[in-house]
Amino acid sequence: MVKATFQKPAALFVACALAFTLPAPALAQGEVNVYSARQEALIKPLMDEFTEQTGIRVNIVSAQADALLQRLRSEGRNTPADVLITVDAGNLNSAKAAGVLRPIESAVLNEAIPESYRDAEGYWYGLSMRARPIMYVKGKVDPAELSTYEALADEKWRRSICIRSSSNVYNQSMTASMIIANGEAETESWARGLVANMARPPMGGDRDQIRAAAAGQCDLAIANTYYLGQMLNSDDNAERTAAQSIGVFWPNQDDRGVHVNVSGAGVVTHSRNTDNAVRLIEFMAGDSAQRWYAEANQEYPVKPGVEWSGTLTELGEFQADAVNLGMLGDFNAAAVRLMDRAGWR
């Protein structure tokens, strides 16, 4: 809501008339500076809509998550940043631990975003959700043979699996979730079995795992759903064809559920535009922005009740792991050490 500014009596009538005749942007002012680990093309339409609605100018600096965290540390009190947008709860928790985010209290965000998708102390809030299921090559793998992440360590999948490296935070968070569920010893045994079942040394990103499976280099791939969704909607015929050969299996549906994660945002500790920063994050948790995430990025809305895209709906419904994603950061270091011991490079 735009706050009314009360004037002295001589100007009151004019002020009231303008309040009812000018569009919302004319009533707001200021700016908000965003450091984003998401590509600018993936968030700029939302930022433009926010500016159109509020009149608040959004300035975006895009870079890799690690580079932005280092920049915030180096800039300290001199940072121009107000909002940090990044991917994966692991990165969000790293930012919290580094002291570059401040806690905020927002009834709007607390109502819109389930507890499992936000920091318990208000340091960060999830804005879009992605799942990391097992993907398989249609016609080569019977999905009835699949069951859980844990079962991927079985000898039947020897040299069958494509997955990216242990340096990838998505895999670190997935492994952290397994430590939370099964303990460190059992998870290390699983990781050793997974390494033995890799069809090739880890390389490339999630799209590369999907392409490799489609090309016959492996039978199974682990990847985030939004990569597959974007490939299915690509203008590149080769990308669409590769994605169409891949099926999605939702593991662990009889116990904890499939591993999920979020992209999210927090207010920078030394923000000079805190009110605008909070307002921007609240906007991104609203129905319009949540629908845009689903349709444009093929990510699941974090706000309950917002409709999925047609592509995501076709991938099927699933039970998600309900672990609070804030815990993934607590177990990140243990996950990294475990993966290293298991030979996951």
pLDDT at 226 over 60: yes
300-338 per-position pLDDT tens digit:
999 999 999 999 999 999 999 999 999 999 999 999 999
- The residue with tokens 């990781």 is 191
b/e 270-293 (16+ beta carbons within 10 angstroms → b) = bbebbebbbbbbbbbbbeebbbbb
**What is the per-residue pLDDT for 19?**
32
Please name which of 218, 290, 294, 222 lies closest in space to residue 258, comparing C-alpha atoms: 222
Which is more confident, 247 or 26?
247
114-128 per-position pLDDT tens digit:
999 999 999 999 999
**What is the per-residue pLDDT for 128?**
96
Supply φ then ψ for residue 99, to 5 degrees.
80, 20
What's the chain's average pLDDT?
Answer: 91
Q: What's the predicted TM-score (pTM) here?
A: 0.88
pLDDT at 18 over 80: no
Average pLDDT over residues 80-87: 97
**What is the per-residue pLDDT for 40?**
84
Confidence of residue 8 (pLDDT cuts 50, 70, 90): very low
> Dihedral through CA 69, CA 38, CA 249, CA 215, nearest 10?
-110
Q: Which sign, positive or negative, has the C-alpha torsion 219, 223, 150, 337?
A: positive
175-211 per-position pLDDT tens digit:
999 999 999 999 999 999 999 999 999 999 999 999 9
Q: What percent of the chain lies above the pLDDT cut of 70? A: 92
Average pLDDT over residues 38-50: 90
**What is the per-residue pLDDT for 171?**
98
Average pLDDT over residues 142-163: 98
**What is the per-residue pLDDT for 41?**
80
Confidence of residue 29 (pLDDT cuts 50, 70, 90): low
